[in-house]
Amino acid sequence: MKEEKLNAKVQLIDEIKEKIQGAQSIVLMNYRGLNVEEVTELRKNFREANVDYKVYKNTMMRRAFEELGHDDMSEFLKGPSSIAFSLEDPVSAAKVAAEFAKSHELLEIKSGVVDGKLISTEEVIGLSKLPSKEVLIAQLLGGLNSPIQGLANVLTGNMRGLAVVLDAIREKREKEEATA
């Protein structure tokens, strides 16, 4: 019986470690005081942003973080803790948590992890203000495209001017031939 419980705990710690290692970013929160409807809404918001939101026992999370060399997370694993793993976009977990915390003051952002480094609450909020990966890529492509588009407009303008001049010459010759 004890061995089964120990195996279950080891599997849970391994699951948490796997999620930590696979996440682009992590946000650790205190959800104390939120009612069932609010927690359900929070879960839904995370799910829509493709963020894995979980509630684990602090001892299990502490052990997983320590085994991965994140001893500094222990100070934040006190009281009710939930964790959000952003799997695709490093900004999405922070963005959802910060937006939800604005309208639900009881949700407290404790800390986060980005690129294997612990970040503070203020840094999580700062991260939430960054545009998403897709928006950044679109901005980059727009910036790269604008000089090419400008060149095409300049070249098209010269061609358009040449076409107008040639059309004017044609019309002038037609008038001259009609009067002659």
Span 9-18, pLDDT tens digits: 889 889 988 9
Distance CA 154, CA 159 (A): 9
Q: Which two tokens stand for residue 169?
A: 């010459």
- CATH label of the domain that carries residue 68: 3.30.70.1730
Q: Are residues 91 and 168 in the same domain?
A: no
Q: Are residues 83 and 164 in the same domain?
A: no
Q: What is the dihedral of CA 9, 15, 17, 19, to 10 degrees?
A: -150
Handedness of CA 116, 120, 121, 122 (dihedral sign): negative
Other beta carbons within 10 angstroms of residue 145's beta carbon come to 10
Residue 71 has pLDDT above 70, yes or no: yes
What local confidence, expressed as pLDDT, does residue 178 receive?
Answer: 80
pLDDT confidence tier of residue 149, bands split at 50, 70 and 90: confident
What local confidence, expressed as pLDDT, does residue 24 receive?
Answer: 87
As for how many domains the chain has, the answer is 2
